[in-house]
């Protein structure tokens, strides 16, 4: 059965119209068992505490105001954290130090691309290569990976050796062994 509401225009506005219910009254703290139970649960979780729903409109508005203020201040806090992270990134505190294995054409082009891309948050420390003389930005030979990585505080190793898969595999194994 459904609820019946009778409206009498002669009644004063302060009195609520009578409501007859065939459904049992659901006590506070329980969700009515209807086919719309999932909707009732979703709306209850969105609106917050169930006790707020059974109070008057002033309590609901106070609850909404508190949630709005909490959202506002959490958003401000999040933006402050983002600015702090961006400032540290600009100062170089969050920059990963990178060693490039291979100082040939591919390695040099890769290093140039990384240096041009400021959002990559990577700093090229130098190169490892067996074919070029040591000095300048050539930090050592491929066999010196562990020592150079420790001395230069390297966070990542980029392998830029085309056509030499055996050598690349050995460098990758050394880098993984040294947790780079």
- Cβ–Cβ under 8 Å, residues 131 and 140: no
CATH code 3.40.50.300 for 96-177? no
Instruction: Output the 3-class SS for 115-139.
Output: HHCHHHCEEEEEEECCCCCCECCEE
Q: Which of 52, 17, 1 is nearest to 9 (CA)?
A: 17
126 vs 144: CA distance, rounded Å: 13
Per-residue pLDDT of the chain (180 residues; tens, 9 = 90+): 445 555 555 555 555 555 555 555 656 656 555 544 444 444 444 445 554 455 566 677 788 888 888 999 999 999 988 888 777 766 766 788 999 999 999 999 999 998 888 777 788 999 999 888 888 899 999 988 899 999 988 989 999 988 888 888 888 888 888 787
Q: What DSSP string runs through 142-165?
A: GGGHHHHHHHTT--EEEE--TT-H
User: CA–CA separation, 57 vs 115, rounded Å?
Assistant: 59
* Overall pTM > 0.75: no
Residue of 96, 101, 100, 95 whose CA lies nearest to 111: 100
């Amino acid at each position: 059965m459904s609820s019946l509401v009778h409206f009498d225009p002669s009644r004063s506005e302060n009195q609520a119209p009578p409501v007859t219910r065939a459904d049992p009254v659901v006590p506070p703290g329980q969700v009515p068992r209807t086919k719309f139970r999932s909707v009732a649960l979703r709306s209850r979780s969105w609106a917050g505490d169930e006790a707020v729903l059974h109070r008057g409109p002033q309590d609901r508005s106070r609850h909404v105001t508190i949630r709005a203020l909490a959202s506002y201040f959490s958003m401000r806090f999040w933006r402050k954290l983002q600015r702090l992270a961006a400032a540290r990134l600009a100062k170089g505190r969050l920059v990963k130090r990178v060693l490039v294995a291979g100082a040939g054409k591919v390695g040099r082009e890769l290093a140039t691309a990384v240096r041009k891309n400021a959002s990559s948050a990577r700093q090229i420390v130098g190169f490892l290569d067996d074919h070029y003389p040591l000095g300048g930005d050539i930090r050592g030979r491929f066999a010196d990976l562990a020592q150079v990585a420790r001395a230069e505080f390297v966070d990542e190793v980029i392998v830029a050796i085309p056509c030499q898969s055996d050598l690349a595999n050995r460098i990758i194994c050394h880098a993984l062994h040294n947790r780079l």
